[in-house]
Amino acid sequence: MNAMRSAFRVFTVLAAAALLSACASTPSDDRMIRESRAALERFVERDPGLRDWRDQAHGYVIFPEIAKGGFWVGGGFGRGIVFERGEPIGRATTSQATVGAQIGAQTYSQVIFFRDDAALRTFQRGNLEFSAQATAVAASAGAAATTSYERGVAVFNMTRGGLMAEASVGGQRFSYEPL
C-alpha cells in the first residue's frame, strides 16, 4: 500500500510539472524555431536515415517537447513549428487525450513529415488527427528505412524524459497558425 501511495505521489508531481510547463507562457517564434531545428538534428543523430525524410518531404512540423501524463485518464500538450521546404511558415500545437491502463508522466519530441503539398494543406486546415499510440514510430537507428508514409504523413517520436506505462486508446489533435 505504501508503494502505491509513493507511486501516486510521484505521478502527481510529474503530472503537475508537465501541465505547468504546457501552460507556461508562449515562447517567442525565434526561440521555437531554434528549438525545433535542434530537435530535428537530434532525430537525425539518432537515425541518420531521417536526413532523407527531411530533405525529400514537402514539409514537416516539429514539436521539440510534448509533455504527457496519465493515471487511467491522460493528456498531453506541445508547441511546435511548421516548415515547408525547410523554411518556417507557421506555429502548431498538439493536444492528446487517452483513456485506459496508464500511469506516469513523460516528455518527448515529435516530427511529422508531409509527403506532398496536399498532406501539408490538410494539416494546415486542421483536418489531421490520429490515434496517438498507433501511428508514431519510435526514432531509433534504422527506423527511417522501415517506415513509409500513410495517407501522406509519417510520424516519428523520440523520448526525452520521464516514464510512462500505458495500454490506452485516445487521439491527438493539431492546430495551425501562420507565422
pTM: 0.80
Q: Which residues of 103-118 are buried (b: 16+ CB within 10 A; e: fewer)?
A: bbbbbbbbbbbbbeee
At 45, list the grid cell. Answer: 543523430
Q: Could you give phi then psi for residue 84, rounded to 5 degrees?
A: -125, 120
Distance of CA 165 to the CA centre of its chain: 17
The stretch 30-46 carries a mean pLDDT of 96
Contact 112, 61 (CB under 8 A): yes
Is residue 137 very low, low, confident or very high in pLDDT (cuts 50, 70, 90)? low
The stretch 61-89 carries a mean pLDDT of 95
The pLDDT > 90 percentage for the chain reads 54
Domain ranges of the chain: 2-178
Instruction: Among 5-19, 47-61, 162-176, name the one with the lowest average pLDDT.
Output: 5-19
From first CA to last CA, the distance across the chain in angstroms is: 51
> How far apart are alpha carbons 21 and 27 in whole angstroms?
11
At 53, list the grid cell. Answer: 525524410
Average pLDDT, the chain: 83
Q: Could you give phi then psi for residue 50, rounded to 5 degrees?
A: -70, -15
Instruction: List the one residue out of 152, 102, 162 whose CA is nearest residue 132.
Output: 102
pLDDT of 6 strictly over 50: no
Instruction: Among 11-15, 20-24, 39-43, 124-128, name the one with the lowest average pLDDT.
Output: 11-15
What's the DSSP call for residue 25? P
